[in-house]
Amino acid sequence: MSTAEPMLSSERRAVARMFGDAFVDDPGWTAVGPDGRESRRRFTRRICGGELWAAPRAGGDACVTRDAGEPTAAIVWFGPEARGSSPWLTIAQAPGSALAGLGALRRSLAADATMRIGHPREPHLYVSLLAAHPGFQRGGRGGALLEAALAEATRLGVPAYLDTANPANLPYYHRFGFRPTGEATLPRGAPLWFLQRD
């Protein structure tokens, strides 16, 4: 059985690579990133790596599951007192967008603005990133990490919130009690769903 454990700072690059591999074909990342698959993988790794670096500085948490001592799934969340839109995050993620070219930078800024409109007005826990390595999916690792985030939301007495551009994720999150609260459109026409668990 997988358990959620705090990510070590020494694991940040490995976890960023894992996110890049997991998200390379995700509709949301495809809507924002470069057209080439390998360029998009590098873009995603840089953006997620920046967030992993900035999250603890902005009051966020990063947890992983491990197999044979290596991270195989990871989550990043921000509690109500954390700063999920902190300047630390903007600074840490900017190089990844800029290195991908002007088009990706513009789409990233537009997507960021779109994502912000869905956040609840009341205090909440925001699940920013969640993925398992492609070779370790459907083994309960993501669920264990999401349960850890939901337990923290319950402890704090606040709803949990996340967004997704992947329609295949909607039934998955529904099983954990998330319900749609709205929908928006990302660059290149990709839909984005806002989901909340009270």
Give pLDDT tens digits for 158-194.
Answer: 999 999 999 999 999 999 999 999 999 999 999 999 9
The residues that bridge with 64 in the sheet, in sequence order, are: 5, 74
Domain extent listing, the chain: 5-158
Strands (E), 17-159: 60-67, 70-78, 125-132
User: Nearest 5°: phi and psi at 97?
Assistant: -70, -45
DSSP sequence for 84-103: TT-HHHHHHHHHHHHHT-HH
| pTM beyond 0.85 | yes
The fold for domain 5-158 equals: Aminopeptidase (3.40.630)
Q: What pLDDT digit, counting tens, does each position of 7-45 carry?
A: 999 999 999 999 999 999 999 999 999 999 999 999 999
Kindly state the average pLDDT of the residues 91-99: 75
The pLDDT, as a whole number, for residue 85 is 61
Q: What pLDDT digit, counting tens, does each position of 106-130 carry?
A: 998 899 899 999 999 999 999 999 9
Kindly state the average pLDDT of the residues 85-94: 70
